[in-house]
Copies of this chain bind each other. A is one copy, B any other.
């Protein structure tokens, strides 16, 4: 608990370079705003799509406790062998926090087993995120709700497996609701999906959004124990039939 958590923030990092509006909101990239907002003892690394191996080498992943993922327009450019590598690391214990449009990333779809599809709309509308599980550590320090004055809408049905724990639900001005904070375990790893963060809005500067992500990093940090042994197993007790 007292040791710093090794966090890698993966950002597609395309919008910021091509779109002036996004660049004006996130001049150093969305990853920089996310990193700045982490209120947790952490060693933070940045990895982006255009880095060699997307910045997710075996060495980087093996040294990562929690990986934060933001992607949108270039999901298809993420190479399958890197997705496979991230998948294996999650099953071995690495935490994964998938943000916003990462719902359609290869890694999230692979971990969920569903289409991860949803409704969406870009209309500068208000989002109000309600906490529905006040006992959950990801809700620590979060109000009953918090508001984002302008966000992209994501609406149900969100095609994900039922979360192991549902922590937040969004209300949208245009009439939709959304399961916005969703916890899962996958193998020895934990996965948290968090809805907000459209690239044209300053969402990752919001103190409550930053607190949620910080809480999620702590929650998703690996549990220290030996990885289970699988495969052929000798009996632990005498079997009569085989004597």
Contact = CB atoms under 8 A, between A and B. Distances in A.
Interface string A118-155: 11110111101011111111011111100001100101
Interface in A196-228: 218, 223-228
B166 A230 contact: no
Contacts of A165: 162, 164-165, 185
A166 B160 CA distance: 13
A136 to B, nearest CB: 7
A21 interface: no
Q: How many copies does the complex hold?
A: 4
B224 A130 contact: no
Nearest to A172: B171
A140 B226 CA distance: 9
Contact of A150 (B120, B137, B241): B241
B177 A170 contact: yes
Contact of A224 (B141, B150, B190): B141
Contacts of A156: 130-132, 144, 169, 228
A205 B189 CA distance: 30
A112 interface: yes
A57 to B, nearest CB: 22
A19 interface: no
A134 B121 contact: no
B133 A234 contact: no
B119 A173 contact: no
Given A130-B156, A156-B169, A173-B239, 9 more contacts: A1-B2, A113-B113, A126-B241, A132-B158, A132-B177, A137-B223, A143-B225, A159-B228, A162-B164
Those 7 A-B pairs whose CB atoms lie nearest each other, nearest first: A175-B236, A174-B235, A135-B185, A117-B230, A157-B228, A119-B233, A124-B241
